[in-house]
A and B are shown apart, each in its own frame.
Chain A
Amino acid sequence: MAQKTMIQAITDAMHHELKSDEDVLIFGEDVGQNGGVFRATEGLQDEFGEERVFDTPLAESGIGGLALGLALQGFRPVPEIQFIGFIYEAMDALNGQIARMRYRSGDSKSAPITVRTPFGGGVHTPELHADSLEGLIAQQPGFRVVVPSTPYDAKGLLISSIRNNDPVFFMEHMKLYRSFRGEVPDEEYTVELDKADVKRDGKDVTLIGYGAMVHTALKAAEELEQENIDAEVIDLRTISPIDTETIIESVKKTNRVVMIQEAQRQAGVAANVISEIQERAILHLEAPILRVTAPDTVYPFSQAEEVWLPNHKDVINKVYEVINF
């Protein structure tokens, strides 16, 4: 099986979908001839032509509106928002318009749109490129929010997202784009949406994360193994809605949980996950559920980001706290 980076897996997914469904359109800033600033759309315009893969004027709200208008003509748009911080410009198009189309039209219209955007810290970007803004979309009913952590998942989840008849906000962690390779089949396959994945089996504590934090959790789990602590790692993969079933199953086994998110602590996905656990499985818990998050500040300029971002040592410390409670 081929070893690919996450960005290659993402390109692969779009290639399959452009080929298998002629209603799929890919557009955004610099996605055409340039192949996108991260080269996610590399070669796609050459192969499928400007009718299917095209540049837009530089305006994110316009890109959102364009996507919805094209969806209303039966297309399956896959717009790219060049960096996550630019979605502020598109918030009405996303949350005010795209997410509401099915309900607003009384189920007579839909918005099968997959909005792709890079996010996440640790790559020394300028301001408003690296934030974890998943909460802004996850709080909007009507949108699914999908965050892959491996090349294999990225391809399968992106194909599932594009084929879904409802809008998906697909977040690609920049640090994962090229930092490692993983097995990615050449043929098309799907990974089910709304399903978390157990990335590592364990019995002593459950570590829950998504995006780059899955790898932080896995690294922590490896070190904890040396100390005879056997951690289970759950990758949420879809953060709205949350797959509570997979989480609760794990909690019933380990009785201890540490939840990790790269986003700031306040009003985050972690708070939501913890709340679901305590409502459903409080009697299975041996300790309070602890969180590893970034502090409640804005994302820092790049000099401070290494300390600001949660790391595996932060996770290990919290694991000791729940084990020794």
Chain B
Amino acid sequence: MKQVLESIENQFEMFQVLDENGEIVNKEHEPDLSDDDLKELMRRMVYTRVLDQRSIALNRQGRLGFYAPTAGQEASQLGSHYALEQEDFLLPAYRDVPQLIWQGLPLYQAFLFSRGHFHGNQFPEDVHGLSPQIIIGAQYTQTAGVALGLKKRGKQSVAVTYTGDGGTSQGDFYEGVNFAGAYNAPAIFFVQNNQFAISVPVEKQTNAKTLAQKAVAAGVEGYQVDGMDVLAVYAVTKKARERAVNGEGPTLIETVTYRYGPHTMAGDDPTRYRSDDLDNEWEKRDPLIRFRKYLEAKNLWSEEDENRVIEEAKEEIKAAIKKADDYPKQKVTDLIDIMHEELPSNLQEQMEEYREKESK
């Protein structure tokens, strides 16, 4: 009998294109992106970093609501999203609001989602996807369904979902990947391995050396990627998308990344489970720093560019918060009204009761 585990695990080497110093280390896989695309990717990362900083500040002022910080994960979130098309269907987790925003969800609606208003989840017609999933892993099985639906409809698009490292311990993770594999459905499953599921380190989630190798059991493709390297994440996603629309089945992608902030703004204190040394080590791998170096060497990015994006982001965030402030508050009667297509008799009675309560 052969020892297979080690030989499988050794094949999951982390894929990297751009190293910490902004040097291309894998010329063969450097994506064929135009200068405009490269600049746009940087713009999105800078903008999203500002959005994260402002969201944290707004949350602390009591002006936002539920918020899961994103800093550190920009390359994973935006590099993968940049490889998708407008027709693709997104099934994000709660930290993956940026992908929805860049897919076309207006900022003020993202803020309304945070504030607990359902208008935040009424997506524009050309944004295909679901609001961020709260139950860890539930989006994985739904992704198999959306992907099978896309296949049955004969569409050239993919279902793309995100979870974290903790999500790979859920039964739904295995079921979702396995279903998509069994139906050879066009799906991309992202695992943003940011090292901690709230406080539990990835080493305590599993004995598997990589999360990407979990693809093997389902008989689908799996890759482990440097999640701080936007070019690597883009390149792998692009390939996974091509495979999916060509009928070659689903792909599981693990991006190795880090969240600088707390799990959410609802009281998590990362100093209870992470050291400053570890934070510093990861901040050296920052996705923005290395991509900025890469672009500066190509004369594609300057301090002025950076400052312009920061100002632009701040202005737009301010305007979006204003718009969210002005949006009418959600009422219980609105909720009753949209539980079903037609009001059943029990809710008709309760509607009357709450109409009266809300009129006071």
Contacts and interface: CB of A to CB of B under 8 A. Distances in A.
B213 interface: no
Interface in A45-74: 51, 56-57, 59, 61-62, 64-74
Interface string A240-281: 011111000000000000000000000000000000000000
A56 B144 CA distance: 11
A107 B338 CA distance: 6
A69 B338 contact: no
A66 B141 contact: yes
Given A62-B178, A69-B145, A70-B145, A102 B340 contact: yes
Given A59-B178, A75-B152, A241-B344, A66 B144 contact: yes
A106 interface: yes
Contact of A244 (B143, B146, B345): B345
Nearest to B131: A104
Interface in A86-125: 92-93, 96-97, 102-110
A142 interface: yes
Q: Give the interface size class of chain A.
A: 35 or more
B135 A65 contact: no
B147 interface: yes
A194 interface: yes
Contact of A105 (B131, B140, B149, B340): B131
B182 A51 contact: no
A194 B338 contact: no
B330 to A, nearest CB: 9
A103 B141 contact: no
A243 B140 CA distance: 37
A166 interface: yes
B75 interface: no
A142 B176 contact: no
B89 interface: yes
Contact of B149 (A73, A103, A144): A73
Interface residues of B, number: 42
A92 B136 CA distance: 10
Given A72-B130, A75-B149, A105 B141 contact: no
Contacts of B135: 92, 96-97
B119 interface: yes
B111 to A, nearest CB: 15
A69 B149 contact: yes
Contact of A70 (B121, B149, B176, B182): B149
A165 interface: yes
A141 interface: yes
A69 B171 contact: no
Given A57-B182, A62-B176, A242-B346, A51 B338 contact: no
Contacts of B145: 65-73
Contacts, number: 136
B179 A57 contact: yes
Name the prevailing secondary structure of the B interface residues: helix
Contact of A65 (B119, B172, B345): B172
B118 A103 contact: yes
Contact of A69 (B118, B141, B172): B141
A67 B138 CA distance: 12
Contact of B119 (A106, A164, A165): A106
Given A73-B150, A107-B338, A142-B340, A65 B131 contact: no
Given A69-B148, A104-B131, A108-B121, A56 B179 contact: yes
B248 interface: no
B340 A166 contact: yes
A241 B172 contact: no
A104 B113 CA distance: 10
Contacts of A67: 145
A302 to B, nearest CB: 29
A75 B148 CA distance: 11
A245 B348 CA distance: 13
A59 B179 contact: yes
30 contacts: A59-B175, A61-B141, A61-B172, A62-B175, A62-B176, A65-B140, A66-B179, A68-B141, A69-B141, A69-B147, A70-B148, A72-B130, A72-B142, A73-B149, A73-B153, A96-B135, A102-B338, A102-B340, A103-B338, A104-B121, A105-B121, A105-B122, A105-B130, A105-B131, A106-B119, A164-B341, A194-B345, A241-B344, A241-B347, A244-B345
Interface of B: 89, 118-123, 130-131, 135, 138, 140-150, 152-153, 159, 171-172, 175-176, 178-179, 182, 335, 337-341, 344-347
